Amino acid sequence: MGYLEGKCPKCGEKTREQSNAWAYGSPIRFCPRCKQEYLDRRWREVAIDGFDPKATSPAYYLKCFAGCLLGTALGYGWFYYTTHYKGYWSTANVGFLIVCALGTIGCLGMAIYIGLGFGKKADQKYMEESKRRLRDAEYVKKLLACGYHVPDEYTVGIRNSSDSL
């Protein structure tokens, strides 16, 4: 879990919300200060927008793994050169090496996690939540009122109802 920080477009209040890694959830947000709802396009309604391609692609993480591995090798080379030929090392050098090594491990771990299908379980949960929200006519009306593109399959009966938007 992480956090998304932003600003309410109506009153300017800074917001900080807990979020999953890909900001899957309702794009309709609520400001605690002015008590109004607004659209935050950083959030993805996955039944409409789909999943972020990076979240479902082990190939993406394998590329990141390769980049981090290269960074680790360069960091080690830099560390080896400065300690053996220059006689010193720096915290920046060690920090770079540690960050690259952790990135290498993390990217490989994510590639394996997605490649073995463990990510699909979490994705199914997000998809079910999204479809449940989109079965609520009032929620769909809010999305439409904010200018969010909602496919016809979720607006049947809403656009044609006597309650015009």
For the chain, domain boundaries:
2-51+135-155, 54-118
Q: Can you give the pLDDT at residue 161?
A: 54
Q: Can you give the pLDDT at residue 156?
A: 79
Q: Can you give the pLDDT at residue 160?
A: 55
- The structure tokens 């960050």 sit at 99
Q: Can you give the pLDDT at residue 137?
A: 93
What is d(CA 157, CA 31) in angstroms, rounded to the nearest whole number? 30
Closest CA to 48 of 152, 124, 161, 158: 152
What is d(CA 3, CA 15) in angstroms, rounded to the nearest whole number? 10
Radius of gyration of the chain, Cα coordinates, nearest whole angstrom:
22
Pair 99, 70: CB distance under 8 Å:
no
Give me the average pLDDT of each 10-residue run along the chain (165 residues): 89 91 92 93 94 91 97 95 92 94 96 91 92 94 92 78 48
Closest CA to 28 of 13, 36, 40: 40
Q: Can you give the pLDDT at residue 165?
A: 46
Q: Can you give the pLDDT at residue 158?
A: 72
Q: Can you give the pLDDT at residue 155?
A: 87
Q: Can you give the pLDDT at residue 162?
A: 40
**Diameter over CA atoms, the chain:** 80
3-state secondary structure of 147: coil
- The structure tokens 């109802």 sit at 161
What is d(CA 25, CA 46) in angstroms, rounded to the nearest whole number? 7
